[in-house]
Chain A
């Protein structure tokens, strides 16, 4: 059985040999990646047609209440209530307005409300763990949820994921599509986690960690975390308009 010490050595070898800003797809310390990463170089191509645009989502798609994961059932969920908020920006620092943000996460005990999660921690009948919202005109999103717990997984013996919230994002063109995970500051599991460490550049890893922000904390209600998300650059210029397409 692979131990944490074995994985630590593999993680260290990755850190010693590269500094990459995106996760390495070929990263055997994350065992499930071994047969699931492409072995050939990505083919460079200029985007065209639909790739220069992103799908549109609107208030008909997403209700206001979907941004609050604590009100989806009749009772209050267990755990610490948190507010997670930030801005979605493109690679040139422009806000991504009116665009879809989706999240999913474990409950306070580190258990997902998912059939495949059989970790013997309690399910919470008042917490499903999924939410959606649209960014506002300045690219801001905001969720009310519960601090998720860390959880065990079977990558190796005694493997634990640092607490995280899964995020799914769209930009203004389809090439900016991003699915990632937000982590919490100071987690002692960071150095041990092959998914987090698959990003071998330390500064790039920091971009996945929210900051505690007291101004986002609501008195007698919730603790506040700020997490801004920068997507890759848009391939359209800001002067492009919908009319040009017609």
Chain B
């Protein structure tokens, strides 16, 4: 079967995609809650104010959640999915918890998708937790040129984690392609 092509989210995605509570995977300020945040920047280092970030993550025990409730959150159920639009300064933020290891010995990460006006198809990346001891064992971090590895790793600040996304330029984020993305046309 031939996969349908993607198309840009365009400038008006706020109408259909972001929703109340989309960026609060756990209520902000709850014990154990962290902020995961950063900026989306273009090839000139200028903020992208019309981007949207989605994260999809395991819970702190490394369990992949299989429960509904991401769109209408009850404040108690952790679903692992969040969606945030960038603000005028290209800034996005989530209130969440740190994911645990889904496989023993593999460094935990947030799966991240990036959408924006001007971006013709979505991009995938990963935001790893800052824990350099285990990077060598990771197939992705091991495969990426050392000079670009930092683009896949969040840094810590007082409230939690910072993960900037550079769509282009000298600090361009490493974006991913998965096996089934290749040869998608029969």
A residues near B (Cβ < 8 Å) are 21-25, 27, 30, 32-40, 42-62, 89-93, 100, 102-104, 106, 112-114, 116-117, 128-132, 166, 168, 174-181, 195-196, 198-199, 201, 203-205, 207-208, 229-235, 242, 245-246
Contact = CB atoms under 8 A, between A and B. Distances in A.
A165 to B, nearest CB: 10
24 contacts: A25-B120, A35-B46, A36-B167, A39-B172, A40-B172, A45-B143, A49-B102, A50-B57, A55-B80, A56-B66, A102-B17, A103-B16, A104-B13, A129-B15, A130-B16, A174-B56, A175-B178, A180-B6, A181-B10, A208-B5, A231-B3, A233-B3, A233-B180, A242-B66
B185 interface: yes
A115 B96 CA distance: 30
Contacts of A48: 102-103, 106
Interface string B146-186: 00100000000000000000011000111111111110110
Contacts of B148: 40
A6 B108 CA distance: 48
B120 A33 contact: yes
Contact of B80 (A40, A50, A104, A166): A50
Contact of A56 (B7, B43, B67, B120): B67
A61 B44 CA distance: 39
A204 B178 CA distance: 20
A117 B15 CA distance: 11
Contacts of B66: 53, 56, 242, 245
Contacts of B113: 174, 177
B145 to A, nearest CB: 10
B139 A230 contact: no
B177 A45 contact: yes
Contact of A60 (B9, B69, B81): B69
A38 B172 contact: yes
B100 to A, nearest CB: 10
Contacts of B103: 48-49
Given A44-B178, A52-B64, 10 more contacts: A25-B120, A35-B46, A36-B48, A49-B108, A51-B111, A55-B81, A60-B68, A174-B56, A179-B115, A230-B3
Give the size category of B's interface with A: 35 or more
Contacts of A195: 7-8, 10, 120
B92 to A, nearest CB: 16
Given A177-B122, A195-B120, A232-B3, A45 B15 contact: no
Please report whether the interface of chain B is mostly helix, strand, loop or mixed according to DSSP: loop
Given A38-B172, A104-B13, A61 B71 contact: yes
A55 B70 contact: yes
A180 B70 contact: no
A60 to B, nearest CB: 6
B175 A38 contact: yes
Given A38-B167, A50-B64, A27 B120 contact: yes
B58 to A, nearest CB: 5
Interface string B37-75: 000001110101000001011100011111111111000
A180 B3 contact: no
